[in-house]
Copies of this chain bind each other. A is one copy, B any other.
Amino acid sequence: MILDAALAEFAEQGYEGSTTASIARRVGVTQPLVHYHFGSKEALWRTTVDGLFGKLQLHLAAMQELVTDSDSAPGLVELTFGFMDFAAANPEFACILNHEGVVQGPRLEWLTEYYLRPLFERWGVYLDDLKEAGLVRDIPNAYLLFVFFGAAQHFFHLAPLVKSLYGIDARSPEASQAYTNALLEVMLTGATKKASDPS
Protein backbone atom coordinates (compact mmCIF):
# COMPACT_ATOMS: atom_id res chain seq x y z
CA MET A 1 0.00 0.00 0.00
CA ILE A 2 1.48 3.31 -1.13
CA LEU A 3 -0.13 5.27 1.72
CA ASP A 4 1.48 3.06 4.36
CA ALA A 5 4.89 3.56 2.78
CA ALA A 6 4.27 7.30 2.52
CA LEU A 7 3.35 7.47 6.21
CA ALA A 8 6.54 5.65 7.19
CA GLU A 9 8.67 7.82 4.92
CA PHE A 10 7.15 11.16 5.98
CA ALA A 11 7.41 10.10 9.64
CA GLU A 12 11.08 9.17 9.36
CA GLN A 13 12.34 11.86 7.00
CA GLY A 14 9.89 14.74 7.20
CA TYR A 15 8.32 16.29 4.12
CA GLU A 16 11.46 17.84 2.64
CA GLY A 17 13.58 14.79 3.36
CA SER A 18 11.10 12.38 1.77
CA THR A 19 11.14 11.49 -1.92
CA THR A 20 8.41 9.98 -4.04
CA ALA A 21 11.02 7.62 -5.49
CA SER A 22 11.90 6.26 -2.05
CA ILE A 23 8.21 5.79 -1.20
CA ALA A 24 7.70 3.90 -4.46
CA ARG A 25 10.75 1.74 -3.72
CA ARG A 26 9.30 0.74 -0.33
CA VAL A 27 6.27 -0.78 -2.03
CA GLY A 28 8.13 -2.09 -5.06
CA VAL A 29 6.43 0.09 -7.66
CA THR A 30 7.78 2.77 -9.97
CA GLN A 31 7.92 6.43 -9.02
CA PRO A 32 5.49 7.72 -11.71
CA LEU A 33 2.79 5.45 -10.28
CA VAL A 34 2.80 7.51 -7.08
CA HIS A 35 1.99 10.57 -9.17
CA TYR A 36 -0.68 8.73 -11.10
CA HIS A 37 -2.51 7.91 -7.86
CA PHE A 38 -1.99 11.11 -5.89
CA GLY A 39 -1.10 13.85 -8.36
CA SER A 40 1.81 15.42 -6.48
CA LYS A 41 4.06 14.97 -3.47
CA GLU A 42 2.10 17.66 -1.61
CA ALA A 43 -1.23 15.94 -2.31
CA LEU A 44 0.22 12.62 -1.21
CA TRP A 45 1.30 14.19 2.07
CA ARG A 46 -2.16 15.60 2.72
CA THR A 47 -3.88 12.32 1.91
CA THR A 48 -1.47 10.52 4.23
CA VAL A 49 -2.07 12.95 7.10
CA ASP A 50 -5.83 12.86 6.51
CA GLY A 51 -5.70 9.09 6.93
CA LEU A 52 -3.68 9.34 10.14
CA PHE A 53 -5.93 11.90 11.81
CA GLY A 54 -9.00 10.05 10.58
CA LYS A 55 -7.70 7.00 12.42
CA LEU A 56 -7.15 9.10 15.56
CA GLN A 57 -10.68 10.51 15.40
CA LEU A 58 -12.19 7.06 14.96
CA HIS A 59 -10.15 5.79 17.90
CA LEU A 60 -11.20 8.67 20.15
CA ALA A 61 -14.84 8.41 19.09
CA ALA A 62 -14.89 4.71 19.96
CA MET A 63 -13.51 5.45 23.43
CA GLN A 64 -15.81 8.39 24.02
CA GLU A 65 -18.86 6.20 23.41
CA LEU A 66 -18.14 4.53 26.72
CA VAL A 67 -18.58 7.83 28.55
CA THR A 68 -22.25 8.54 29.26
CA ASP A 69 -21.55 10.64 32.33
CA SER A 70 -22.05 14.38 31.81
CA ASP A 71 -19.26 15.07 34.29
CA SER A 72 -15.90 16.25 32.88
CA ALA A 73 -13.58 13.94 34.82
CA PRO A 74 -14.43 10.70 32.98
CA GLY A 75 -14.33 12.58 29.67
CA LEU A 76 -10.82 13.85 30.34
CA VAL A 77 -9.64 10.43 31.44
CA GLU A 78 -11.02 8.73 28.32
CA LEU A 79 -9.59 11.39 26.01
CA THR A 80 -6.20 11.18 27.69
CA PHE A 81 -6.06 7.39 27.78
CA GLY A 82 -7.37 7.22 24.23
CA PHE A 83 -4.71 9.59 23.01
CA MET A 84 -1.87 7.78 24.77
CA ASP A 85 -3.13 4.48 23.40
CA PHE A 86 -3.11 5.90 19.92
CA ALA A 87 0.28 7.59 20.30
CA ALA A 88 1.82 4.31 21.46
CA ALA A 89 0.31 2.32 18.59
CA ASN A 90 0.98 5.00 15.95
CA PRO A 91 4.38 6.57 16.58
CA GLU A 92 4.21 8.14 13.11
CA PHE A 93 1.72 10.59 14.57
CA ALA A 94 4.30 12.07 16.91
CA CYS A 95 6.98 11.97 14.23
CA ILE A 96 4.92 13.98 11.76
CA LEU A 97 3.90 16.54 14.37
CA ASN A 98 7.50 16.92 15.44
CA HIS A 99 8.58 17.46 11.85
CA GLU A 100 5.85 19.91 10.91
CA GLY A 101 5.58 21.80 14.18
CA VAL A 102 8.99 23.44 13.96
CA VAL A 103 8.57 25.68 10.91
CA GLN A 104 5.75 28.06 10.18
CA GLY A 105 4.19 27.40 6.80
CA PRO A 106 1.11 26.24 4.93
CA ARG A 107 1.40 22.63 6.07
CA LEU A 108 1.51 23.63 9.76
CA GLU A 109 -1.35 26.12 9.31
CA TRP A 110 -3.47 23.44 7.66
CA LEU A 111 -2.66 20.90 10.39
CA THR A 112 -3.50 23.37 13.14
CA GLU A 113 -6.72 24.65 11.62
CA TYR A 114 -8.24 21.32 10.65
CA TYR A 115 -6.99 18.90 13.23
CA LEU A 116 -4.96 20.24 16.13
CA ARG A 117 -7.01 23.21 17.33
CA PRO A 118 -10.22 21.13 17.71
CA LEU A 119 -8.31 18.44 19.59
CA PHE A 120 -6.62 20.86 21.98
CA GLU A 121 -9.83 22.77 22.54
CA ARG A 122 -11.64 19.61 23.55
CA TRP A 123 -8.95 18.97 26.13
CA GLY A 124 -9.10 22.59 27.22
CA VAL A 125 -12.83 22.46 27.97
CA TYR A 126 -12.39 19.45 30.22
CA LEU A 127 -9.44 21.04 32.00
CA ASP A 128 -11.28 24.31 32.59
CA ASP A 129 -14.19 22.41 34.13
CA LEU A 130 -11.91 20.45 36.43
CA LYS A 131 -9.96 23.53 37.46
CA GLU A 132 -13.23 25.19 38.39
CA ALA A 133 -14.19 22.11 40.40
CA GLY A 134 -10.87 22.41 42.28
CA LEU A 135 -9.53 19.08 40.99
CA VAL A 136 -6.76 20.37 38.72
CA ARG A 137 -4.08 22.92 39.53
CA ASP A 138 -4.42 26.42 38.21
CA ILE A 139 -1.83 26.11 35.41
CA PRO A 140 -2.61 27.50 31.92
CA ASN A 141 -3.82 24.85 29.49
CA ALA A 142 -1.06 25.60 27.02
CA TYR A 143 1.55 24.60 29.60
CA LEU A 144 -0.37 21.70 31.10
CA LEU A 145 -1.12 20.19 27.71
CA PHE A 146 2.39 20.56 26.33
CA VAL A 147 3.85 18.91 29.42
CA PHE A 148 1.52 15.96 28.90
CA PHE A 149 1.69 16.02 25.11
CA GLY A 150 5.49 16.14 25.06
CA ALA A 151 5.95 13.43 27.64
CA ALA A 152 3.28 11.22 26.07
CA GLN A 153 4.85 11.27 22.63
CA HIS A 154 8.58 11.47 23.28
CA PHE A 155 9.14 7.87 24.34
CA PHE A 156 7.39 6.38 21.31
CA HIS A 157 8.56 9.01 18.86
CA LEU A 158 12.20 8.51 19.80
CA ALA A 159 11.99 4.72 19.98
CA PRO A 160 15.31 4.22 18.13
CA LEU A 161 17.01 6.55 20.61
CA VAL A 162 15.43 4.71 23.56
CA LYS A 163 16.69 1.43 22.06
CA SER A 164 20.15 2.88 21.56
CA LEU A 165 20.32 4.28 25.11
CA TYR A 166 18.53 1.65 27.21
CA GLY A 167 18.10 -1.38 24.96
CA ILE A 168 14.33 -1.11 25.45
CA ASP A 169 11.93 -1.59 22.53
CA ALA A 170 9.65 1.36 23.23
CA ARG A 171 7.02 0.07 20.82
CA SER A 172 6.56 -3.31 22.50
CA PRO A 173 3.24 -3.70 24.34
CA GLU A 174 5.01 -4.20 27.69
CA ALA A 175 7.12 -1.06 27.45
CA SER A 176 4.15 0.98 26.12
CA GLN A 177 2.01 -0.08 29.05
CA ALA A 178 4.74 0.51 31.61
CA TYR A 179 5.58 3.94 30.20
CA THR A 180 1.91 4.96 30.11
CA ASN A 181 1.54 3.97 33.77
CA ALA A 182 4.70 5.85 34.75
CA LEU A 183 3.59 8.99 32.91
CA LEU A 184 0.13 9.01 34.46
CA GLU A 185 1.59 8.41 37.90
CA VAL A 186 3.92 11.38 37.51
CA MET A 187 1.20 13.58 35.98
CA LEU A 188 -1.22 12.80 38.79
CA THR A 189 1.00 12.79 41.86
CA GLY A 190 4.54 13.82 40.85
CA ALA A 191 7.85 11.99 40.77
CA THR A 192 8.77 12.59 44.40
CA LYS A 193 8.00 10.05 47.09
CA LYS A 194 5.51 11.29 49.68
CA ALA A 195 5.29 10.47 53.38
CA SER A 196 1.97 8.76 52.69
CA ASP A 197 3.47 6.42 50.05
CA PRO A 198 4.14 2.78 50.86
CA SER A 199 7.85 2.15 51.39
Contacts and interface: CB of A to CB of B under 8 A. Distances in A.
Given A14-B99, A101-B161, A147 B182 contact: yes
Interface stretch (A31-39, A46-54, A57-65, A137-145): A137-145
Interface in A165-199: 165-166, 168, 178-179, 182-183, 185-193, 197, 199
Contacts of A55: none
Contacts of A158: 97-98, 101-102, 146
B143 A102 contact: no
A178 B140 CA distance: 10
A52 to B, nearest CB: 15
Measured as residues with beta carbon below 8 angstroms from the partner, the interface class of chain A is 35 or more
Interface of A: 11-18, 95, 97-104, 108-109, 112, 116-117, 120, 134-137, 139-144, 146-155, 157-166, 168, 178-179, 182-183, 185-193, 197, 199
14 contacts: A13-B17, A14-B16, A98-B158, A112-B165, A116-B161, A137-B197, A139-B185, A139-B191, A140-B182, A146-B151, A147-B151, A150-B154, A186-B186, A187-B191
Given A14-B17, A143-B183, A150-B150, 11 more contacts: A11-B102, A14-B16, A16-B16, A104-B164, A120-B165, A139-B182, A139-B186, A147-B151, A147-B182, A186-B186, A189-B190
